[in-house]
A and B are shown apart, each in its own frame.
Chain A
Amino acid sequence: MHIATRGRALSVIALLGVVVYATAQISDKISKVTTGPVRQGQPVTIEAELINPAIVQRVEVAYRPFGEQTYKRMEMSIVGNIASATIPPDQMIPPFLEYYLLIYPQNSTTPETYPLENADGHPLRVTMEEAQPVSKYITVLSPEEQGSVTPDDLFISFTVRKDTIVDSAATQILVDGANVTKFAVMSGDLFILRPENASLTLSSGDHSVQVEIYSRKNELIERYQWNFKITGGIEAPVMVQKGWQYGGSLQLETRNEKIDTLPGQPYNRATLLGNASNGNFHARGKIYVTNEEQSHRQPQDRFSLTAEIPELRLGLGDLYPVYPDLIMNGLRVRGVSGELSLGSFDLAVSSGQLLRSIEGNLIKTFPHDSLTEEQGRDPGASYRLYRPGDSLWAKYTDGTYARNLFVIRPKFGTPSSFLGFTFLKSKDDPQSIFFGDKPEENLVAGSDFFISIANHTVELNGQAAMSATNKDITNGTFTDQQIDSTFTGSDSASDRRQARNVKKWLSHFITVNENLIPLTAKYFPTLAYEGGISINAADNALRFNYLRHGSSFESFGQTFVRPDVVGFNISDRQRLVRNSLLLSLGYERLNDNTAHTKAATTTSTTANIGISYFPQSELPSATVAYLFASDDNGIPTADSTFSVDDHTNRVVVQLNKDFFYYGRHQTMLSVSTSVRDDLTKRNLDTKNTSISLGVTSNYQIPLQTVVNLLVSLNTLPTTDLAGHTTSMSRNYTTLFLRGLYRLDGDRIQLSATVSPTLGDVGRTLLDGGAQYYFTKRISAVADLSLYLNKDRDNDLIGSLIVRMDL
């Protein structure tokens, strides 16, 4: 008997189509972190809500897919109090992605991490499942999988493929967990269900349909599910529209923050978005202005205008051009960017400013006679001749030179197989500020390819790039006389002539002097390359990558390439037992010391195994993973200065279960523990265990609730005044309760949050918010957050946002 009841639990694809709240961590800089819908092979956006954006210089996200030890980094785009970054799709590999955030306070190069404790060894996770395989028996007709539909157009329909073992009449249909089979109409292979026939009232938002196929022996042979969304809006008729089409929105925000004992900090922001199209022509514009725009900071305002036709795309303003990721990916450029697409030939060009000039601060002036005394008193400060006429010197803090950039990339081939060449030139403008130190210049040339074989069954990719960086171009390129004086002694006249010729040729591209890197071609310190192959055949996905980044490789367009590393990683995912088991294996081995200049080579090894179970029954889905990592440089552990020898063991267990009881409830239990054993004399051992339990509920009434409980147990190393390493514990428990209620047909939305943290950290969050739609196009959101802190003054944050769709 397989008639399900309304309360029957439904095994669903965990986390699909929902916003995921990262387990509430303690931080005085980030109030919450959310990720968008998580799907294998799809990009995911991570958003962090900053408590006090004025004190944050920048935020980075460090992330790594399952099976890799090395974190990749990406700067998050900060707009208002939201920092966001989108993780590329090739990093979204089941069973999970690990990440943590690095928050750089103003005027500091030392970041704070989120989570605070041992983020590198005990990061946050985004769990995902293998993409659901194509059904063997079912063809979905309506609604489309992951599609949107208005309530008026909603009906559920699918066909069941004829098969000798299938008993079509036994097919079961569940909508949001409710068995509605008896209300469906069956015509041959076709099933149709109109919600009104089943007295189903489906509100706006995400819903799911599950179909169970049974054999003639009454055995469940397939359970197939798809999700769809009901949109409240009126869908425009699908007509061919001609002429100009316009759209836009205006958002005004005021926010006031009272943090600790600091005076209140107001933020006022306005965002204007616009778009227009006519036939194949499309244009989009954005203006974002904020009172955070100040001359001593990098630009906070944003503006951009892009226009495109099928063959050409042009952008002006603040743009984020994407090139091969060894060279440039994700950095903001204020300037112009364009891409010409002629089928088998593409040309992309970007030009603009990476950094704007910020003048340094004059601390004091003094006569030349006092220079030695001043430098002896503060050797770390910067000094320069201020007024040559009377030999007056200045002590100052460094400013930032304006940094300009130019990138060009011709590409040959199609999206499935191509070869590209990229050239990047970036240079500081030494004349842009007076109080600055060591303007730099950077040149990168590279090539990349991608080959797809047999409809992406086999994919080959590779990229290589060589860089040259001049660390100080203040005095420009060597003169011939300087070369002659430098290449003396054993160097012959022909050597000097050759050096002059090389300088003459190379100086067309970059300033040539003693600060140029590389100074030697031995071990190719500025060469970086990566290559990989992936094979997706049957139920197996195998991936192998080899990489080598020289110790001095640098691109001003990509500041997050880890230098000085060589090695490989290999991972394999296998679907087993009719896709209900996913076995993931990963192994990575990396070495540093590519230039052979270090005392020893450190080998980092990572081995991972993960098993995910997605049952065709009422059981919860489960993921169990074991991860081992070690670093060893072979130097005896008694050497406290250079020895590296540590092992980390991690175990992750996560259970997910969705069920329906007066609504849809998504539950999650996660236990994660990591133990790092530092075998050297430094003894920097750490232990972290976190247990989190969460329930996100969407009730049949317009109420959504989120309940999360996090227990975090940490043992961390600390150094006392005598320099001895001891351990300290930092344990806390956070309860997160949030409710959101919609009234008057979604016109009013009220939310409230209570989140106390107990233990070594004492803090309680109280938050209340309301959203009101004056009309369909005009709405306002007000929010008030109060942080009750145990060890310092309370924080109070209020905001009001008005939005108009034009």
Chain B
Amino acid sequence: MKIFKQLFVTLLVLVALCCSMLVTLGMRPSSTPMALIMKVVPEVVKKTANTDWTSAVASDQLQGGDQVKTAKKALAILKFMDKSIVRVHEQSQVILNADASGPRFTKVVDLNGGVFGFDIKKQTDERYRFTSPTSVASIRGTTGKFTDHSQNDTLVVVEGLVNLKNNVSNKDIDVAAGFIGFSGRDGLLSSRHATPEELADASNAAIGNGGKELNIEMRDSKGNKKNLKIKIKQ
């Protein structure tokens, strides 16, 4: 009787493990790529697990581990399957990865120097995470610009809310719409109101739409709502 009970428990554990593996696998996009290259200006290179650096063209698929690099005055627009967009600006390098270890599937964009703008659609089951050697930014749905400088990272948030964590000090702060966050190699982490020029620049980097108007809701130190309208010109 005891053997049957042990067998039953073992079977139950195995079934549970199989189910959890299936669920985990089911959550991951099996053969669907992570992103597409939508546009390259004028020349962009990419590197995959099987190929070295080669010229990228629009419609190229990007899987986890693939890298994209832009030269001077170049631009690459990446579109994820949920229509989120990352615009990799000149002299930048990003690596795409997927992380299924947490409670939610996370798409990771690792910035290895340079700058990219982002327009991330609101997420329900998934997350985005932007990383650099210094910082980690956790995203759900937001628009802004992420820059990896030599001394610090900057994160300008045009819409939404981003949690910015410094890897050196292990501290984190929330960067709200209309703010710019700084994450330094020395572990310092701070934020302040972004200037209209910084916000317009970030919007342009993220969206690139000519003539689009953004209406940013901000709060002052007393918690009062203030609206800032920004017209973006391409």
Chain A contact residues, CB within 8 Å of chain B: 139, 141-142, 152-153, 155, 157, 159, 187-190, 192, 194, 236-241, 245, 277, 279-280, 282, 308, 310-311, 341-344, 414-415
Contact = CB atoms under 8 A, between A and B. Distances in A.
A188 B61 CA distance: 12
A159 B230 CA distance: 33
Nearest to B205: A240
A157 B234 contact: no
Contact of B231 (A153, A194, A237, A282): A282
Given A142-B38, A280-B197, A282-B231, 7 more contacts: A155-B59, A157-B59, A237-B73, A238-B234, A241-B204, A280-B231, A343-B225
B82 interface: yes
Interface in B142-200: 196-197, 200
Contact of B229 (A159, A188, A190, A310): A310
Contacts of A152: 58
Contacts of A236: 234
A728 B55 CA distance: 75
A189 B80 CA distance: 12
B115 to A, nearest CB: 10
A241 B233 contact: yes
A312 to B, nearest CB: 10
The 5 closest A-B pairs by CB, nearest first: A188-B32, A343-B227, A238-B208, A155-B59, A188-B31
Interface-central residue, B29, B77, B197, by most chain A CB under 10 Å = B29
Contacts of A157: 36, 59
A342 B215 CA distance: 11
Contacts of A342: 227
Contacts of B81: 139, 141, 159, 189-190
30 contacts: A139-B81, A139-B83, A141-B38, A141-B81, A141-B83, A142-B79, A153-B58, A157-B59, A187-B31, A187-B33, A188-B31, A189-B32, A190-B32, A190-B33, A192-B36, A236-B234, A237-B42, A238-B77, A238-B87, A239-B75, A240-B201, A241-B233, A245-B233, A279-B200, A280-B196, A280-B200, A280-B230, A310-B230, A344-B227, A415-B215
B41 interface: yes
Contacts of B201: 240
Nearest to A152: B58
B228 interface: yes
Given A153-B38, A237-B75, A238-B208, A414 B233 contact: no
A353 to B, nearest CB: 30
A239 B29 CA distance: 32
A190 B36 CA distance: 10
A310 B215 CA distance: 10
Given A187-B31, A310-B229, A194 B41 contact: no
B122 interface: no
Interface of B: 29-33, 36, 38-39, 41-42, 58-59, 61, 73, 75, 77, 79, 81-83, 87, 89-90, 196-197, 200-201, 204-205, 208, 215, 225-231, 233-234
A138 B197 CA distance: 38
Nearest to B214: A310
A192 B59 contact: yes
B59 A187 contact: no
Nearest to B59: A155
Given A142-B79, A238-B234, A341-B229, A188 B29 contact: yes
A344 B225 contact: yes
**Main DSSP-derived SS at the B contact region:** mixed
Contacts of A192: 36, 59, 61
Contacts of B231: 280, 282, 308, 310
A157 B62 CA distance: 14
A139 B36 CA distance: 13
Nearest to B230: A310
A4 B32 CA distance: 27
A152 B43 CA distance: 13
B30 A311 contact: no
A280 B39 CA distance: 26
A367 to B, nearest CB: 67
Given A141-B79, A279-B197, A343-B226, A159 B36 contact: no
Nearest to A193: B59
Contacts of B234: 236, 238, 241
B39 A153 contact: yes
A153 B44 CA distance: 14
Interface-central residue, A159, A188, A310, A342, by most chain B CB under 10 Å = A310
A414 B228 CA distance: 12
B106 to A, nearest CB: 18
A64 to B, nearest CB: 31
Contact of B75 (A238, A245, A341, A343): A238
Contacts of A187: 31-33, 61
A437 to B, nearest CB: 48
Contacts of B204: 240-241
B163 to A, nearest CB: 26
A194 B29 CA distance: 23
B144 to A, nearest CB: 14
Contacts of B205: 240
Nearest to A155: B59
B29 A189 contact: yes
Contacts of A237: 41-42, 73, 75
Nearest to A238: B208
A238 B74 CA distance: 9
Contacts of A415: 215
Nearest to B204: A240
Contacts of B41: 237-238
Contacts of B32: 159, 187-190
A246 to B, nearest CB: 12
B233 A141 contact: no
Contacts of A282: 231, 233
A157 B38 CA distance: 10
A240 B75 CA distance: 11
A157 B215 CA distance: 31
Nearest to B209: A238
Contacts of A188: 29-33
B75 A190 contact: no
B33 A141 contact: no
Contacts of B31: 187-188
Contacts of A344: 225, 227
B58 A310 contact: no
A346 to B, nearest CB: 10
A311 B94 CA distance: 37
Contacts of B227: 342-344, 414
Nearest to A140: B83
A155 B58 contact: yes
A281 B71 CA distance: 30
Contacts of A414: 227
Contacts of B58: 152-153, 155
Nearest to B38: A142
A344 B226 CA distance: 7
A2 B59 CA distance: 27
A311 B228 CA distance: 8
Contacts of A189: 29, 32, 81
Nearest to B199: A280
A415 B229 CA distance: 12
A343 B204 CA distance: 21
Contacts of B75: 237-239
Contacts of B196: 279-280, 310
A236 B41 CA distance: 9
A282 B227 CA distance: 20
Interface-central residue, A159, A239, A277, A308, by most chain B CB under 10 Å = A239
A265 to B, nearest CB: 39
A637 to B, nearest CB: 58
A424 to B, nearest CB: 26
A277 B228 contact: no
Contacts of B79: 141-142
B201 to A, nearest CB: 6
Nearest to B197: A279
